[in-house]
Protein backbone atom coordinates (compact mmCIF):
# COMPACT_ATOMS: atom_id res chain seq x y z
CA UNK A 1 0.00 0.00 0.00
CA UNK A 2 1.33 3.44 -0.96
CA UNK A 3 0.50 6.29 1.34
CA UNK A 4 0.38 9.76 -0.19
CA UNK A 5 0.49 12.81 2.03
CA UNK A 6 -1.53 15.70 0.73
CA UNK A 7 -0.73 18.12 3.51
CA UNK A 8 0.95 21.37 2.56
CA UNK A 9 2.73 24.12 4.41
CA UNK A 10 3.00 27.81 3.71
CA UNK A 11 6.43 29.41 3.54
CA UNK A 12 6.72 33.20 3.34
CA UNK A 13 8.32 34.49 0.14
CA UNK A 14 10.87 36.50 2.12
CA UNK A 15 12.04 33.34 3.86
CA UNK A 16 12.44 31.58 0.51
CA UNK A 17 14.46 34.52 -0.81
CA UNK A 18 16.70 34.41 2.27
CA UNK A 19 17.16 30.65 1.92
CA UNK A 20 18.07 31.01 -1.75
CA UNK A 21 20.56 33.79 -0.98
CA UNK A 22 22.13 31.67 1.75
CA UNK A 23 22.35 28.67 -0.55
CA UNK A 24 24.04 30.81 -3.20
CA UNK A 25 26.69 31.83 -0.66
CA UNK A 26 27.26 28.23 0.39
CA UNK A 27 27.61 27.18 -3.25
CA UNK A 28 30.21 29.90 -3.75
CA UNK A 29 32.21 28.70 -0.77
CA UNK A 30 32.03 25.09 -1.98
CA UNK A 31 33.16 26.12 -5.46
CA UNK A 32 36.16 27.96 -4.02
CA UNK A 33 37.06 25.00 -1.81
CA UNK A 34 36.92 22.71 -4.84
CA UNK A 35 39.10 25.14 -6.79
CA UNK A 36 41.83 25.29 -4.18
CA UNK A 37 41.66 21.57 -3.36
CA UNK A 38 44.13 20.66 -6.11
CA UNK A 39 47.41 22.13 -7.32
CA UNK A 40 46.11 23.28 -10.69
CA UNK A 41 43.27 25.12 -8.97
CA UNK A 42 45.76 26.80 -6.66
CA UNK A 43 47.80 27.89 -9.70
CA UNK A 44 44.69 29.36 -11.34
CA UNK A 45 43.91 31.32 -8.17
CA UNK A 46 47.48 32.68 -7.95
CA UNK A 47 47.40 33.69 -11.64
CA UNK A 48 44.03 35.39 -11.20
CA UNK A 49 45.25 37.30 -8.14
CA UNK A 50 48.36 38.46 -10.03
CA UNK A 51 46.24 39.59 -12.99
CA UNK A 52 43.92 41.44 -10.64
CA UNK A 53 46.81 43.25 -8.93
CA UNK A 54 48.13 44.34 -12.35
CA UNK A 55 44.68 45.58 -13.37
CA UNK A 56 44.61 43.02 -16.17
CA UNK A 57 40.87 42.32 -16.11
CA UNK A 58 37.58 43.55 -17.54
CA UNK A 59 34.29 44.24 -15.79
CA UNK A 60 31.25 42.49 -17.21
CA UNK A 61 27.86 44.01 -16.42
CA UNK A 62 25.64 41.49 -18.17
CA UNK A 63 26.03 37.95 -19.40
CA UNK A 64 25.72 39.15 -22.99
CA UNK A 65 28.79 41.33 -22.48
CA UNK A 66 30.88 38.17 -22.15
CA UNK A 67 30.21 37.32 -25.77
CA UNK A 68 31.74 40.63 -26.88
CA UNK A 69 35.10 39.97 -25.20
Residue extents of the structural domains in the chain: 28-53
What lies within 8 Å, CB to CB, of 34 at 6+ separation is: 41
Q: Kindly state the average pLDDT of the residues 5-30.
A: 91
What pLDDT is recorded for position 65? 66
pLDDT at 69 over 60: no
Instruction: Give CA–CA dist 1/17, Å, rounded.
Output: 37
What pLDDT is recorded for position 68? 67
pLDDT at 2 over 80: no
Model pTM score: 0.52
Geometric angle at alpha carbon 58, from 57 and 62, rounded to 5°: 145
42 touches 48 (CB < 8 A): no
Confidence bin at 18 (pLDDT 50/70/90): very high
Amino acid sequence: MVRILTETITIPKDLLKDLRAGLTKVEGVLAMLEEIADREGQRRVRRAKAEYRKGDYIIIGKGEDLLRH
